[in-house]
Amino acid sequence: MSAAPLVAIIDWSKARVGDPEALVEREIIGSVARVKSFYCESDRDFDDEIGSAAALIVWHNCPVTADGIRRLRGCRALIRNGVGYDSIDADAAAQHGIPVCNVPDYGTEEVADHALALALALCRQLFPLDREAKALRWRIPEPGRLRRLRELTFGVVGLGRIGTAAALRAKALGFQVSFYDPYLSNGVDKALGLRRAGTLDELLRASDVLSIHCPLTPETRHLIGARELALMKPSAYVVNTARGAIIEKAAIFEALRAGRLGGAGLDVVEDEPLASAEEAATPNLIVTPHAAFCSVEGRREMRATSARIARAAVLGEPLENVVNGVRPERKIS
């Protein structure tokens, strides 16, 4: 009698984020497969046991390259435990007939809430005011940076699930909301009561708050660089809860230091974490540690969806959320 198929959970050895006991995954996968956690710095650490797995569930900090994919024997699904799948070479997986799946909807509310929290902290200058009060002073500041929300334009780059959720939250708070998304069909703006910008440059010039909600792809890497930031108002704020490399880090930090940008709220940065005390001291910068997706409820939902996809892969059933076009048909015996 052959051993049960293996579902391997790949966690990052430098900063483990998963549950070593994999209780959520075991509950959902049940007896159809063995579930085991592995701790890897990169896919160079993939051993023969991982290579034999019927499905891999991969946390966000462990990249899976073409070299790692070549060592997978009989893998039926490579599941990215989260929304973005830029850490997995999806094209190489497709060449080997391996579906790459993600979990696109688990953190929609949390990330949208986090984006608005960063935007509000910047517009209402919560952190400078907090420092003022804690210095044992009670000086009411000049209005300066403090703004009335309904006079401001909230610009959204990418009107997918999270971008839509953020746009509707901003609209409810009174912002004038515009978006840029060249892949949406006509009429979405009318359905949601938003203004559509014809070009990214148009959105940049109009925005008082620019909130990034597009995936990281070759097209969007460094989508916002020095040229784009120069188009924005010197008083404008940039919020990024998507992927760090969408914004060129050197460019936005230089704009903040030079006073050419009002501020930034970044949950993600290029080549995170921050690299130096100098970066951390950048003026008018709020940074959170890639935590926008975090909540007790969202984390369990993410793990449950990944486990459900892994179970389907083992059983040879249709897969949810395939992002690289691979649809296997035969079952694992």
39, 322 in Cβ contact below 8 A? Answer: no
Place of tokens 């080997």: 96
Residue 263 shares a structural domain with residue 308: no
Residue 75 shares a structural domain with residue 114: no
Residue 131 shares a structural domain with residue 249: yes
Range 113-123 average pLDDT: 98
120: closest CA among 237, 224, 244, 291?
A: 237
Res. 164: pLDDT tops 80: yes
pLDDT at 2: 58
1 found inside a domain: no
Mean pLDDT, rounded, of the chain: 94
Residue 26 shares a structural domain with residue 47: yes
159: its two tokens = 């009107």
323 found inside a domain: no
Residue 221 shares a structural domain with residue 283: yes
pLDDT range class, residue 140, cuts 50, 70, 90? confident
pLDDT tens for each residue of 293-309: 899 999 999 999 999 99
Q: What is the number of domains present in the chain? A: 2
267 found inside a domain: yes
The proportion of the chain whose per-residue pLDDT surpasses 70, expressed as a percent, equals 97
Range 194-202 average pLDDT: 98
Residue 146 shares a structural domain with residue 85: no
325 found inside a domain: no
Residue 258 burial (C-beta neighbours within 10 Å; 0-12, 13-18, 19+): exposed
Angle, in degrees to the nearest 10, between helices 126-134 and 108-123: 60
28: its two tokens = 């959902």
What are the CB-based long-range contacts (under 8 Å, 24+) for 58-62? 58/10, 58/87, 58/88, 59/9, 59/10, 59/11, 59/12, 59/17, 59/18, 60/12, 60/17, 60/84, 60/87, 60/290, 61/12, 61/14, 61/15, 61/17, 61/87, 62/10, 62/11, 62/12, 62/87
24: its two tokens = 């959520």
pLDDT at 149: 97
Tell me the residue range of the domain where 271 lies.
108-287
pLDDT range class, residue 329, cuts 50, 70, 90? low
Res. 214: pLDDT tops 50: yes
Residue 87 shares a structural domain with residue 202: no
What are the CB-based long-range contacts (under 8 Å, 24+) for 326-330? 326/93, 326/94, 326/97, 326/98, 326/99, 326/100, 327/99, 328/76, 328/97, 328/99
Give the predicted TM-score (pTM) of the model: 0.83
pLDDT tens for each residue of 243-253: 999 999 999 99
Residue 20 shares a structural domain with residue 53: yes
Residue 153 shares a structural domain with residue 128: yes
247: its two tokens = 């914004």
Here the CATH number for the domain that contains residue 130 is 3.40.50.720
pLDDT range class, residue 145, cuts 50, 70, 90? confident
119 found inside a domain: yes
Q: Which are the contacts of 179, defined by CB distance < 8 A and separation ≥ 6?
A: 155, 156, 157, 158, 159, 163, 167, 189, 194, 195, 196, 197, 203
Angle, in degrees to the nearest 10, between helices 161-172 and 108-123: 40
23 found inside a domain: yes
326 found inside a domain: no
Residue 16 shares a structural domain with residue 84: yes
Residue 113 shares a structural domain with residue 12: no
79 found inside a domain: yes
Show which residues are catalytic: 243, 272, 290
Residue 239 shares a structural domain with residue 214: yes
